[in-house]
A and B are shown apart, each in its own frame.
Chain A
């Protein structure tokens, strides 16, 4: 697969603050590349450099084969970008906004009509076409923003938290559209906070305080990052949680629905037995202890904890 995005030791500093700290990764054509990380970890700054909106402080990046520093305009012709903040004209109707984007990307008029009807149906925008954009709720605004971003069928798509503030049904719709685009061969570069969305991606990269801390396929990450995850059912659950939080073998324990997930130190050979003993010692009635595959959220939390900012306070400005 040819490379759609190639990033090498990319750095962005704002004054003394390092927003992106020497990040390197590649995205192959046709991938759905999930870019994860907490707020302020440098995801949007990276995307903005890739879109030619910000000049990198150092390092190189090529997008669709073009250098972000030297040929940003050629990149722009080959991509779609949906910013994190809503950026459409609120005094235009939904249809007018879509037509405006079609015009900016010089989509032939006949094709705009065709795309408009496709998008109206696929994103269910038909009912709001004549509404002023300013009167739409967040979910509808995000649908419209996605529609304008893909009006010209870009081969490469940057979506910066497309599903933030969006209800689960709309979110599912979004991922259906994203999957459609990927099936048609488009490369998708998407950031998100929602960990179950990360499962939709073919590959993930996680940013943390400007560093890229891990990269891999979702299934692989779930297997590799957190080896000893157990699910615990016990009563009373609160006492169980307290007991595990104080157990030296347990790295992290958190409520998970009506049960509890506990990450046991990876040197422990039999995590189930270790947890059971710790619980029984605390006088908690154990119902079930079972080794499970961690969720993406478990992986995310575990990784974030391992890269605490306190460890790296010296490096940050």
Chain B
């Protein structure tokens, strides 16, 4: 115990006295959270559009008004020359152009079918498809009012369409921050933890202190635990910082138990720290260790953990791989706690898996660490 603590204390001091690791510990999580939190945003507001109104009638102005009033769209230009339509779309100046054909009002008045053209900039596919949804809805709403008006003029009651009452549970506003911030915390902890410990052993080799460390009577498991211990505290601070940033900056507050969240975080960061130190026992230089830690955590955790892409829609081999990543399981837990107030009664399988990961990875690192040159 004394020996383990001696190793832990030295490692703690290395971190406190190294400005680079202090930056990684304190500033990086907040910076990354801000960067990704603002950067990744699925919510669409102010979809820019231009209007090419060839009818210039009461009806055409009505349609334009209904777009503006929906709150989703922002009219940036009224086009008077049809060459301008391509200019705006080619130059990515607007998301779509609404073209109202001549004689729109006349056709509608005569009871003939009338067409409205919408040209959507398809370069950014997610934005285009979201915009299309909003546009369809806006036009459908306007058609409804046309039918209602017609019925009223004919003195009959308008036909009642089927009304859908959909209620979205857990995230009623479908705010993407509520979805992304907890996910980001999971990803950040995985990456930072691996990064922090990836240099812990290989650094000793470069400093030359490895030789006296392994000729000491401190056993390999004690060295491993002593090395990991300070980072448990450090990574815990990172979890707190991330949660706090989520609350203060993105107003994302976990509805579930914060105590449970922190408790499970402990298992999770233990598994992540052990992953990093495992790389550290293998790599021969710090640069290599950092590179391996970054590559092996950054991409798989972001792409395969279910952070961005739902695991259910992945092909089977990737679904299997995703199960071997601790973030996959922690993501389920943290999202559940943040959005559903999920408790241990529901989450115990994931918690168990994380505990298993932590145990296996720490054991593996201790086994891998040889007290020889």
> Which residues of A does B touch, CB under 8 Å?
48, 51-55, 72-73, 76-77, 79, 81, 83, 85-92, 96, 99-106, 148
Q: Check if B373 sits within 8 Å of A53, measured CB to CB.
A: yes
Contacts of A105 in B (CB 8 A): 3, 216-217
Contacts of A54 in B (CB 8 A): 372-373
Selecting from B9-17, B69-77, B230-238, B246-254, the interface stretch reads B9-17
Q: Check if B217 sits within 8 Å of A83, measured CB to CB.
A: no
Given A81-B215, A89-B13, 19 other A-B residues pairs in contact with their CB atoms under 8 A: A51-B215, A52-B215, A53-B215, A54-B373, A73-B219, A76-B215, A76-B371, A85-B211, A87-B208, A87-B209, A89-B209, A92-B13, A96-B10, A96-B13, A103-B5, A104-B7, A104-B213, A105-B216, A105-B217
Report the separation of the CA atoms of residues A106 and B7 in the bound assembly, to the nearest whole angstrom.
Answer: 11
Report the separation of the CA atoms of residues A98 and B293 in the bound assembly, to the nearest whole angstrom.
Answer: 33
Partner of B218, one of A87, A104, A148: A104
Contacts of A92 in B (CB 8 A): 10, 13
Q: List 22 A-B contacts (CB under 8 A).
A: A48-B373, A52-B215, A52-B372, A53-B211, A53-B372, A54-B372, A76-B215, A77-B217, A83-B211, A87-B207, A87-B212, A88-B212, A89-B209, A92-B10, A103-B2, A104-B7, A104-B218, A105-B216, A106-B2, A106-B3, A106-B217, A148-B212
| Contact residues, B1-28 vs A (CB, 8 A) | 2-3, 5-7, 9-10, 13-14, 17-18
Chain B residue at minimum C-beta to C-beta distance from A107: B2
Distance of A87 from chain B, by nearest CB (Å): 4
Contacts of B5 in A (CB 8 A): 103
Report the separation of the CA atoms of residues A83 and B373 in the bound assembly, to the nearest whole angstrom.
Answer: 13
- The reply to whether the CB of B214 lies closer than 8 angstroms to some CB of chain A is yes
> Which residues of B does A touch, CB under 8 Å?
2-3, 5-7, 9-10, 13-14, 17-18, 207-219, 371-373
Report the separation of the CA atoms of residues A314 and B371 in the bound assembly, to the nearest whole angstrom.
Answer: 35
The 10 closest A-B CB pairs, nearest first, are: A103-B6, A77-B217, A87-B208, A104-B216, A81-B215, A76-B217, A87-B212, A83-B211, A106-B2, A91-B17
Report the separation of the CA atoms of residues A280 and B2 in the bound assembly, to the nearest whole angstrom.
Answer: 73
Partner of A100, one of B6, B18, B214, B371: B6
Distance of A46 from chain B, by nearest CB (Å): 14
Q: Check if A103 sits within 8 Å of B3, measured CB to CB.
A: yes
Contacts of B211 in A (CB 8 A): 53, 81, 83, 85, 87
Contacts of B372 in A (CB 8 A): 52-55
Report the separation of the CA atoms of residues A92 and B217 in the bound assembly, to the nearest whole angstrom.
Answer: 21
Of B7, B13, B211, chain A has the most CB atoms within 10 Å of the CB of: B211
Contacts of B373 in A (CB 8 A): 48, 53-54
Partner of B217, one of A73, A100, A148: A73
Contacts of B208 in A (CB 8 A): 83, 85-87
Contacts of A55 in B (CB 8 A): 372
Contacts of B218 in A (CB 8 A): 104
